[in-house]
Amino acid sequence: MKRLPLRKNPYLKWGAALLIVVFFALYLTVDQVIMPRVTRQSEVVSVPDFRGMPISEALLAIDSVGLVFGDTTSRIGPDSLQGLVAVQTPRPSASVRPRRRIYLSIYRGLEQDVVVPDVSTQSRRNARLALRAAGLIVHEEPDTIPSPDPGAVTRTDPVAGSLVPRGDSVTVWYGRGLNRNRLVEVPNVVGQHHHTADSLLRALFFWPRLLGQEGDPDNPLILRQSPEPGELSPEGSDIRLFTTADSLD
């Protein structure tokens, strides 16, 4: 049988043409039908305006347009707006892909002020319970000011009676107690004003006692002290401070 040249073989020509047609048909199917369904690159969603909606309605609206709820934050606002959407991300009318996450900020109303309770001299546990009951967050720190009762509250910041927003933090300082078996050298505070002398003595866990008032009534000059400078006294001892040279001990 005589073989036809490749150029004149009709089966080869029609076969090649059929392969080209099939290739383009597959390409168009993948490009125009399959890939858009997988990636949805050709689809965009215009983000609705959810601002002012109650959160329950906003969640339904997000789902109805093919978007996904992401998360919420809160912001202070009038009580009349409590529970309504304040801000949204992405912004209204933005063009996004389907299934894009939407983040909302919700008005929570105004915070109420509360009074810081007076917990001084209370135990750390009782002070913690009282402050938390008032809606406050508690931070505890050991105090550098000497206190004879270990664990008893010495002071707070803000001070008792202050008005603060509910949820604010209050620092509670508590005493570490005294070691009366430990002897400390009494410093020389003669010639110092009372405020300076008081701070210096308290830092060494002494109890300053001011006797007599002359000169500046708020911050008098210390002219004599007892015990004398250099003596050894136990922690927690009284240090008497005199503001007149002829004061009697």
**Which pLDDT value is given to residue 235?**
80
Report residues of the chain scoring pLDDT below 50: 1-2, 4, 6, 247-249
**Which pLDDT value is given to residue 78?**
78
- pTM of the complete model beyond 0.85: no
**Which pLDDT value is given to residue 248?**
47
Of 57, 59, 55, 105, the closest CA to residue 83 belongs to 55
Cis peptide before 36 (omega within 30 of 0): no
Of 178, 123, 126, the closest CA to residue 153 belongs to 123
Q: 176 near 142, Cβ under 8 Å?
A: yes
CB within 8 A of 226, min separation 6: which ones?
239, 240, 242, 249
DSSP code for 220:
P
Phi–psi pair at 79, nearest 5 degrees: -60, -30
